[in-house]
Structure 1
Amino acid sequence: MAELKEILEQVRNGTLSVEQAEEQVRAVSNLGFANLDLDREKRTGFPEVIYAAGKSEEQLVAIFERLMKHQSIVLATRVSPEQAEVLVQRLPMVEYHADARAAIWSDRPLEPVSPGYVSVVAAGTSDWAVAQEAAWTIRCLGAEARVIADVGVAGIHRLFQRLDEIRGSTAIVCVAGMEGALASVIAGLVDIPVIAVPTSVGYGANFRGLAALLSMLNACATGVAVVNIDNGFGAGYMAGMIHRQSARAAHSD
């Protein structure tokens, strides 16, 4: 959001109405069905993110349009193909990543703004969608995300083949369903924070991710933090924040 002086200058030269200026000064945009937080980036370092599930296509388009006027990047998670079809038709500059169920608009290319990368390690191909949600969230926060897929404990030699690459990360997102053992295994092999994401992948006793969640919460290895079931966004956001802090620390040295 523009600073107050710039807003007042725009009102004086007629490029901004009094109503629009009031909206920017208040830092809240009321659409009737949603109050958009336009000041979030100043407080937290990243602007408001849209959770698309449960919203109508028209609501999603309206929110996107409004946020695009105030933010340099807009991310929407859990966007259905039906919502995406309408969104991209109305706003062709928005990109839809179907694997991640994420819609993204940015006023500049999504490129890493600091050296290093975050690894998103997925136990199986069935965890792909959650891993991709994490990866695109990390990229939106300005970090490189490397997805390392299908390296679960059922064939643990596959993990060891990528271990050097994983150890080079600033943070690790570990996505696993079934019994969720991969997070504990990785954490015992690295000196990097591991953000574990249990997924709802598995047979009946997996209880739609509850078994993996409990395994990760009870991990014997240290350095593991756990987010909610299938919450790739939450894990990706946390990993992106860790990467930012790591880059700042390196820059200050």
Structure 2
Amino acid sequence: MDDQQLKTLIDGIRSGDVSTAAALERLRKLPFEDLGYAKVDHHRCLRNGVPEVIYCQGKTVDQIKGIVERMMPYHTNILATRADASVYAAIRGLTDDCRYHDMARIVVIRPRPVGSLGRIAVVCAGTSDVPVAEEAAVTAATLGNRVDRLYDVGVAGIHRLLNRCEDLFKANVAIVIAGMEGALASVVGGLVACPVIGVPTSVGYGASFGGLAALLSMLNSCASGVSVVNIDNGFGAAYQASLINRLAAGGTAEAACPSAKDEADPSTMPTTG
């Protein structure tokens, strides 16, 4: 449930259109709904401004379907992350109102426009880092941010990054994704006046230790204003960047949670392209 749905319920009780029994039944499920294998947090949109996100790795397809089925009546812009084609096919069996971003490995269920927050630059060192960058870009766009992609601009050819400085300087937040030695986060941090969120990736040869080298490099950045999320965590970086953008815009949780009754308008769908 989001702010608008709660207001509608209260108005319905006041006007007599909603009975006390019906309201009690609806409110009984407000904090969470126990499915046995999962407790679906319907209250999260009220608290955080974003519905509960479904992390698909480690869950069975039937479990994912059960969670999605219980969330759909009450939420829009439901993110199912680390989802493969089989997960998408299962969700499509429940609803056609979903979009699959295969590179990002994200299914967005009941996508709806949520207003326009400021710009987030998603800066990616190399093509091998693009899946993590796309996870960040799709998440950020779904949460209502304007996303600028600056891909394949790593330090091995730094002129490529400098060529995109105009786009970089427009951003409220920069998400910098890099593997190997992860130096790109420091470079961007030394160029911009906005917060930089570094995302180390597991891309690299043996001594990169599956992204540990890039993680330590970003944590030891000599540029001020660089924070770091976990290895390959494009989703976490985008969520954090969106919170920063929402605060900068003076927004509230309500702005990020359109009513579940809102109808889809293809011309205003969240776009990442």
Fold shared, TM-score > 0.5 on shorter chain: yes
Gaps of 5+ in 2: 252-273
Matched residue SS, 1:90:
coil
TM-score, normalization by structure 1: 0.90
CA distance in 1, matches of 2:152, 2:115: 25
Which one of the candidate residues 44, 52, 59 is aligned to 1:55? Answer: 59
Match of 1:141 in 2: 143
8 Å Cα contact 2:80-2:108 kept in structure 1: yes
Matched residue SS, 2:249:
helix
Which one of the candidate residues 86, 97, 100 is aligned to 1:96? Answer: 100
Match of 1:34 in 2: 38
Q: How many aligned residue pairs are there?
A: 244
Match of 2:10 in 1: 5
Question: Structure 2: which amino acid aligns with 1:164?
Answer: E
TM-score, normalization by structure 2: 0.83
Gaps of 5+ in 1: none
CA distance in 2, matches of 1:7, 1:112: 26
8 Å Cα contact 2:124-2:150 kept in structure 1: yes
Deviation (angstroms), 1:17: 8.3
Match of 2:163 in 1: 161
Bigger relative contact order, structure 1 or 2, given CA contacts below 8 A and separation 6+?
A: 2
Match of 1:22 in 2: 28
8 Å Cα contact 1:111-1:139 kept in structure 2: no
CA distance in 2, matches of 1:92, 1:20: 26
CA distance in 2, matches of 1:165, 1:21: 46
Segment drifting more, 202-211 vs 70-79: 70-79
Does residue 128 in structure 1 map to residue 130 in structure 2?
yes
Deviation (angstroms), 1:66: 1.1
Which aligned pairs between 1:74-223 and structure 2 lie closer than 5 A?
A: 74-106=78-110, 108=112, 110=113, 112-114=115-117, 116-223=118-225
Deviation (angstroms), 1:240: 0.8
CA RMSD of aligned residues (A): 2.0
Question: Structure 1: which amino acid aligns with 2:28?
Answer: E
